[in-house]
Amino acid sequence: EPEVTQTPSHQVTQMGQEVILRCVPISNHLYFYWYRQILGQKVEFLVSFYNNEISEKSEIFDDQFSVERPDGSNFTLKIRSTKLEDSAMYFCARGSNSGANVLTFGAGSRLTVL
């Protein structure tokens, strides 16, 4: 199946700025996910999105975060007011339509907050 494409590959922003990370996971998939990996730490689940609604979110996914699928194809993660500790790799993933449990990840977007 086609890969998951993420943009930008790297974004540098000032603390307090809004950031939007984008993912193109192919329009006929139903399950989408965002994960985060702080340097040297584990890949952490942020949020799952099913049928255009949030299905589950972790404790990390607080009010600063939001997800959207604005045009049926792109899948975005917005961080409203970035903090230094938001610096991480952010991975988008899509589930297989044969079962949500098999995930295909994008290459990630590296976010650096200064």
The binding site for other proteins (CB under 8 A) comprises 4, 31, 33, 41-48, 50, 55-56, 58, 91, 93, 95, 100-108, 110
Torsion angle, alpha carbons of 69, 70, 74, 76, to 10: -60
15 or 102, CB closer to other proteins? 102
Decide: 94 and 105 in contact? Cβ < 8 Å: no
Instruction: Map residue 71 onto helix, strand or coil.
Output: coil
Q: Report the residue number, 14 or 39, with the smaller CB distance to other proteins.
A: 39
* CA dist., res. 34 & res. 77, Å (int): 8
Closest CA to 57 of 69, 45, 68: 45
Query: Closest distance between other proteins and the C-beta of residue 40, in Å?
Result: 9
Please state the closest distance from residue 16 (CB atom) to other proteins, in A. 27
The nearest distance, CB 107 to other proteins, in angstroms, is 5
Which residue's CB is nearer to other proteins, number 82 or number 106?
A: 106
